[in-house]
Amino acid sequence: MLEIKDLHATVDGKKILNGLTLSLGSGEVHAIMGPNGSGKSTLSYVLAGRPGYEVTSGTVTFRGQDLLTMKTEERAAAGIFLALQYPVEIPGVTTINFLRTALNAQAKARGEVELDAVSFLKRLKQEREDLSMSDEMVKRAVNVGFSGGEKKRNEVLQMAMLKPSLAILDETDSGLDIDALKLVAEGVNAMRAPNRSFLVITHYQRLLDYIVPDKVHVLAAGRIAKTGGPDLARELEAKGYDEIVKAA
Amino acid sequence: MTALDVKTERTHESAMAALFAEARANLPSPAWLQPLRAEALARVSRDGLPHRRVEAWKYTDLRNKLSTDLTIATGAGTPPPSLFEGIGAHRIDINGGKVTASPRGDELPDGLEVISLAEALKTPAAWLRQWFEPGSDALQNLNLAFATDGALIRVGRGLQLDRPVLIRSTLVEAGVISNTRSVVYLEEGAELTLIELDDGATEAQSLANAMTSIVLEPGARLNHLRVTASAGAGVVVRNHDLDLARDAAYEGVVLSSGAALARQQMSVRLTGQGADFNLACAYATGEGEHADYTLEISHDAPNTKSRLLAKGVASGNGHAAVQGRVIVKPEAQKTDSHQMSRALLLSPHAEIDQKPELEIFADDVKCGHGAAIGAVDPNQMFYLRARGIPEVQARNMLVAAFLGEVTERVPGIFRSAVDAWLTARMATVGAAPQ
């Protein structure tokens, strides 16, 4: 699904990623953990193609395609989805309109038929009800006046509607209370499939109790410092990052 | 400065004087109007057409866009399909400065009167004189000198009209001037929705110069939508003169996109206590386009209120200017006024000038203004693109959302036509070189 090799990247001239290598297989869920400033969010932005995040060397291959030559919107149409750590408010654009436009744009880019309005609304109703989101919420401007938890749920709703092959969740658990966390995790687990992979970026082990990963990577100083199974997350929770960071 | 320069400077004026001498015999004029037209033209010759050294025209180069070889529009050419085709309204169509269609008397409800200016001027019509006085504005004087036709609309006392009145002015001729003069008079307590649409491709430096005087008697309410959808190399100037009496309310939306030069001049007087003026403007100017909103709002009476919201975008080498001057007279205590102008620049070559002005002569007032210019938010752009929406489409969505604060005020039945027009315009404006 995703092959990252010796990836180096800078932001505003500052080196953030320093030779990161990672292989994510089809249907796998990998967790990326690490202290603040280790490059977790940078990795997610580099993969999604955020302007200003410059790759200086290394390769990223997504389903056989060179990801780094693709535009942001092309990556989305190819199946990459980034759930933002800080979802953006867009006054004047309703969530319904946003989702419909995104779905149609992706369908068009892939040469597929656009979803008709009735089918779209039916799917939207189903997905938002699974996430306990009201009709009123999707009729409001995107994320405007939403609480932190509501914004995160809106990210998961978008993911459920867009059905990506690779979902990158950037600290989707931050700012969530335990009920919201369970809801979001259920949403993610419901989407786990042999042809869909997840990169779950998190600070805490808590989320990984609900979304059980196949592998856990610890990021330190812009590269993978340690890789293990779900146990590694629990170990980190108990011991902290210090030891690994020092070793890196 | 050499003699040659001076001569060049005067060319527009001498051309207008020659044109007036040639055309005056054919202009509709009862005896009282003839000297007023001559006086108006004399003032144009004396004061000159505006140039950029005149403060109110600092940002808009009219002379540069105006040909010195213009004739009077004849009404030739076929208007394009109307933006508001099929929407139920009392329709007045003007083409090339001549009313080509207006409702018959038996189609109008009791209390609503609609007559063309040309028709009215076949009679002495001395009652019109108050709207035909030469003033200090060169474009309005030019309009008075050459006015060929227009719409005269009166809504009787207490009459509340459901069906809007739609005045459409088209100009499709090249190298002409068209001057229309309209009056909209709402008697006490009357209510009207008035739509004014300018369209057509004003080709080869034509000048469409229109003047509408609006009078709102006590308690009258006007819901007003003005759209300048003209395209092409021409100049469109729209003059509005408003009088709001006690407790009269004006609620307006003015939109402009597509013309080489479109200037909206509005002069508003709040002459009665409780008068309420609320205007929202929006513009989208692309490559080679210029939009100008110049407003003066005078609070002449206590407890009057004014609101001005302007929002716009410019791309390519597009240019826009928003000038709002609020004057509070000494007797206008408890005035409540606010103006806000926000703009998005889509390219480094686009220019937007915003100039709010306050002149306050009373001491117990609440007046404020604000202005902001920025670029499209890169975080919002990334968010939309990360969901698969291509760059240009994403930007146009954000621009439409930005202008939405204005366009959402468009009266309901006209909303989808306006949205469709703006979407089409943004496809062009948004595609201009960045």
| B383, B393, B402 member nearest A105 (Cβ) | B393
Average pLDDT of the segment spanning B384-389: 97
Structure tokens at B26: 């054919």
What does chain A look like in DSSP terms, one character per residue? -EEEEEEEEEETTEEEEEEEEEEE-TT-EEEEE--TTSSHHHHHHHHHT-TTEEEEEEEEEETTEEGGGS-HHHHHHHTEEEE-SSPPPEEEEEHHHHHHHHHHHHHHHTTPPPPPHHHHHHHHHHHHHHTT--HHHHHSEETTT--HHHHHHHHHHHHHHH--SEEEEESTTTT--HHHHHHHHHHHHHH-BTTBEEEEE-SSSHHHHHS--SEEEEEETTEEEEEE-HHHHHHHHHH-SHHHHHH-
Res A5 pLDDT > 80:
yes
Is A76's CB within 8 Å of B386's CB? Answer: yes
Res B2 pLDDT > 50:
no
Q: How does pLDDT run across A99-127, given as a tens digit for each residue? A: 999 999 999 999 999 989 999 999 999 99
Cα distances (angstroms) measured from residue B218 to each of A245, B190, B278, B327, B361: 77, 9, 16, 21, 25
Is B388's CB within 8 Å of A93's CB? Answer: no
Average pLDDT of the segment spanning B387-414: 94
Q: pTM for the complete prediction? A: 0.90
pLDDT number for residue B3:
45
Question: How would you write A35-64 as a 3-class SS string?
Answer: CCCCCHHHHHHHHHCCCCEEEEEEEEEECC
| Among B111, B108, B73, B112, CA closest to B94 | B73
pLDDT number for residue B7:
45
Is B389's CB within 8 Å of A93's CB? Answer: no
Contacts of B422 in chain A (CB under 8 A): none
Neighbour-count burial for B5-39, b at 16+ CB within 10 Å, e otherwise: eeeeeeebbebbbebbeeeeeebbbeeebeebbee
Is B391's CB within 8 Å of A93's CB? Answer: no
Other beta carbons less than 10 A from residue B149's beta carbon: 25
Contact A49/B at CB under 8 A: yes
Which residue, chain included where needed, has tokens 């070793």? Answer: A247
Contacts of A160 in chain B (CB under 8 A): none
Gap from B307 CA to chain A (nearest CA, Å): 21
Contact A88/B at CB under 8 A: yes
Res B201 pLDDT > 80:
no
Residue B432, phi then psi, degrees to nearest 5: -65, 155
Is B387's CB within 8 Å of A88's CB? Answer: no
Q: How does pLDDT run across B250-298, given as a tens digit for each residue? A: 999 999 998 899 999 999 999 999 999 999 999 999 999 999 999 999 9
Cα A58 versus chain centre, distance:
21
Is B385's CB within 8 Å of A71's CB? Answer: yes
pLDDT number for residue A179:
83
Is A92's CB within 8 Å of B384's CB? Answer: no
Is A102's CB within 8 Å of B384's CB? Answer: yes
State the pLDDT confidence band at A183, using cuts at 50, 70 and 90: confident
pLDDT number for residue A234:
85
Contact B402/A at CB under 8 A: yes
Cα distances (angstroms) measured from residue B190 to each of A103, B102, B159, B399: 48, 21, 5, 36
Contacts of A92 in chain B (CB under 8 A): 400-402, 404-405
Contact A77/B at CB under 8 A: yes
Q: How does pLDDT run across A116-172, given as a tens digit for each residue? A: 999 999 999 999 998 888 999 999 999 999 988 889 999 999 999 999 999 999 988
Q: How does pLDDT run across A62-73, given as a tens digit for each residue? A: 999 999 999 999
